[in-house]
Amino acid sequence: MLPTGRAVPLTGTLLVGRNPVHFGQWTDAELITVDDPAASVSKTHACFEPTTDAVRVTDAHSTNGVAVEPPGGEPRTLSPGVAEDVPEGSAIHLGRFVVRVERA
């Protein structure tokens, strides 16, 4: 779920950012734009990919990084370019924005 409350179904790869573009292995990803006048979210900030029992998140070498906060846990910053599985209920911090991983 995006900060605006908009739910985005994760049926394939998503690139999220202020003005995301396809690059690298993500040439067929769906592009999701986040309205961020403060520019805390990079142009192409992160990639979200569905897996069998989780969501795989990759920091797309963003300026302000990506942090994962699992339910009941502390936020942990992801290494740029390294995909990590994120459990349901996690909060993903993209700059000043928080995206929730929820099952529909």
Helix H or strand E encompassing 14:
strand 14-17
- The pTM assigned to this predicted structure is 0.91
pLDDT digits (tens, 9 = 90+) for 62-96: 999 999 999 999 999 999 999 999 988 899 999 88
Domain 14-100 has CATH 2.40.30.10: no
Q: Is 67 left (phi over 0), alpha (psi -120 to 50) or beta?
A: beta
| Alpha carbons 34 and 84: distance in angstroms, whole number | 22
Residue range 32-57: mean pLDDT, rounded: 91
Structure confidence at residue 14 (pLDDT): 94
Tell me how far apart the terminal alpha carbons of the chain are, to the nearest angstrom: 10
